[in-house]
Amino acid sequence: MPIAQFAETESSSDSSKSKTFVFKDEGHTLGNALRCVISNYPDVQFCGYTVPHPAESKMHFRIQMHKGKAVDALKRGLEDLVNVCDTTLEKFEEELQNQ
């Protein structure tokens, strides 16, 4: 079962440059970290997320591009976030061993 899907609306179904993705069982932790990564890409016009309600276990993540596909920016953002987390964990473990 995928953790994310497209949220199809009239405004987002027409363009590959502007999409809203719905992440199941995710919230502010992933949303804010991913927003910080993706918003630094030069081709990104807008990047933001919302958690509709605390009782709902989903996060809406919106990307609008100057050029390129929103889904490609999401894929790149997820890969870059994994790399940041891996590097952080490696540095943390190195420091623990040096204690």
Q: Answer whether residue 12 shows pLDDT above 90.
A: no
Secondary structure (DSSP) of 40-63: TSTTEEEEEEE---TTS-EEEEEE
- Give the strand pairing for 18-24 and 4-6: antiparallel
The domain 4-97 having CATH identifier 3.30.1360.10: the answer here is yes
Domain regions of the chain by residue span: 4-97
Quickly state the pLDDT bin for 99 (edges 50, 70, 90): confident
Cα distances (angstroms) measured from residue 72 to each of 2, 18, 24, 63, 90: 17, 11, 19, 10, 27
Q: What is the pLDDT of residue 3?
A: 58
Report the number of secondary-structure helices (H) and strands (E) in the chain: 3, 4
**Confidence category of residue 15, pLDDT binned at 50, 70, 90:** confident
At 75 the three-state DSSP class reads helix
**Residue of 99 and 90 predicted with greater confidence:** 90
User: Residue 19 has what pLDDT?
Assistant: 94
Residue from 77, 70, 73, 75 nearest 15 by CA: 70
β-partners of residue 21 are 6, 61
**Residue 14 pLDDT:** 55
Q: What is the pLDDT of residues 20-72, one digit of tens each?
A: 999 999 999 999 999 999 999 999 999 999 999 988 889 999 999 999 999 99
